[in-house]
Structure 1
Amino acid sequence: MTSTVTATQAREQFADIINRVVYRGEQFIIEKKGKPVARIVMIEEKQKETITKNEPDQGLMLLKKLSQYNAKGLPKDLAQNHDKYAWGGE
């Protein structure tokens, strides 16, 4: 069964929606401003295996990349290496 909910409803009822997908096999279409923008469905077993195998490596790579920057998206060593970042020098 497929149900349609607004983005606001999905946010407010997220845990319930996930439980209904997992335990009842339901599907949900999420609408924003009256237009469908996302679908929540159960992941098939083959997809689960692929995600499980690939995600840890991808997640670690992303964390390593993000750890080079501070919360504002600036390099952590900006103060020490201002000229390098400002002028492209070494």
Structure 2
Amino acid sequence: MRGGVAPGTVVRFSYGDYPAAEGLAHLATYRAFQAWLIAEHLDLPFSLPPEVVAGLEEHVLPNAEQWREWGVFPPAVEPPAGADDETRLLCAVGYWHP
């Protein structure tokens, strides 16, 4: 039997309490960026799927500056000319480097 998460459920993180749906978005965001960073560190070819990039843009970009103030992201970097969506996202959160 599978159960769902009751409406109004609050998840608790070390940095605050959030409604379950937002908490799951935080976990997915962390995992997506960690996958990219690990692949980058190991010099493995890896790209985030376009649907993941679109979801991260929707969830992360409106919060990036606040989260940067909290130490979640390093300073943003200027995207290269003609950058694709993934590169622009990674630049916005300070992870991209040429």
Task: Give the TM interval when normalised to the shorter protein.
Answer: under 0.3
Q: Which has the larger radius of gyration?
A: 1
| TM-score normalised per structure 2 | 0.25
Q: Quick check: which one's strand share is greater?
A: 1
TM-score normalised by the chain length of structure 1: 0.27
